[in-house]
Amino acid sequence: MSSSFGKAIKITLFGESHGAGIGAVMEGLPPGLKVDEEFILSEMDKRRAAGKVSTARHESDIPQFLSGVKNGFTEGTPLALLIKNENVKSCDYSNISHVARPSHADYSAQAKYLGYQDASGGGHFSGRLTAPIVAAGAILRMALSDKGISIGTHIQKLRGICDSPFPEDLEAAIASLNEKRFPVLSEEAGSQMRREIEAAAADEDSVGGVLETAVTGLQPGIGEPWFDSIESELAHALFSIPAVKGVEFGAGFAASDMLGSQANDPFAVRDGRIVTLTNNSGGINGGISNGMPVIFRTAVKPTPSIGKEQQSADFIEMKDAVLSIKGRHDPAIVHRARAVVDAMTAIVLSDLLARRWGYMWLRTEQ
């Protein structure tokens, strides 16, 4: 089992959905990083339920810093943050404790933890475990932003509806996305996407989607090939997010269908800087940043818990069963997963930057 991720900056995750609480421990942070609770809460708010397109379970989700933070700055010692679980209704799940929710982790967790696991609400495999990741990531996101590195994500596609592509002025697009709870570049596409989510909800079903992320301001030369290349580290972290089923960088799978002359990004010198005239590589060559924006897409599957009747099996009584899940579930999680993708990106890049320049590099100048 591995609940820790990162080398220079390490994050360890713990908790269960309906236990006492969930949280994270961060090691390797420099002393003097700003811990802006208002910014952390606003990031966490993006991960939380939002209106008709989200679950009805409401949590206050205020992280409590047990150690490592004093007077609004990191101390440089291990930072432990705890989010207490409130608003827990275990009875919502009583009918499914032995009947595996299709494409959730009930049966695979049973196979691993042999019935000793707390399975209610998805237990350790609940999307709730992403809340501490967002809190931890927000601290690093702010540190990166102070160094001129910005991260922004939009819903690129949902049920065949495509958002506008990232524009030339990426900085402005990222700033505007970071203000939105339903992150799209085209409000018209966003309305159509919302309608699809609401239609799925009315039918007791769910939808997935593709998130596209841009990172600007990352200097060339970051990444630790072979095995800790930017792609390897980001993919590792992104695939750890529940419901993520695909990750591609730059032109991604489409590059395999291009000619070399189409896929190659021509180099040029502009304003005394080496740039590329296209960015099919997504800002990464040889696992190392080339100074262009880092661009990647993350595929999020439909929420597995749905109200519609489904075929399943009771793994204790060993017989087929029909499942209809009552309770509170999101008809889509893609818009909420965006905050988790942004947080994971901040965690991975901070770790790689700390490995390149030393962990004190991330420190907020005072």
Residues that bind ligand FMN (CB under 6 A): 47, 55, 104-105, 122, 125-127, 130, 241-243, 301, 303-305, 329-330, 333, 336-337, 340
Q: How deeply is 320 buried, as exposed, middle or buried, from its count of CB atoms within 10 A (0-12, 13-18, 19+)? A: exposed
Burial code (b: 16+ CB inside 10 Å, e: under 16) for 57-84 equals bebebebebeebbeeebbbbeebbbbbb
Nearer to ligand FMN, 279 or 303 (CB): 303
Nearer to ligand FMN, 98 or 104 (CB): 104
Q: What is the nearest approach in angstroms of ligand FMN to the Cβ of residue 333?
A: 4
Spatial distance between the Cα atoms of 218 and 216, rounded to a whole number of angstroms: 6
* Contacts of 61 by beta carbon, 8 Å cutoff, 6+ apart: 44, 48, 83, 131
Spatial distance between the Cα atoms of 195 and 324, rounded to a whole number of angstroms: 24
Nearer to ligand FMN, 126 or 281 (CB): 126
Q: What is the nearest approach in angstroms of ligand FMN to the Cβ of residue 257?
A: 28
Q: What is the nearest approach in angstroms of ligand FMN to the Cβ of residue 73?
A: 29
Q: Let me know: does 355 contact 8? Beta carbons within 8 Å.
A: yes
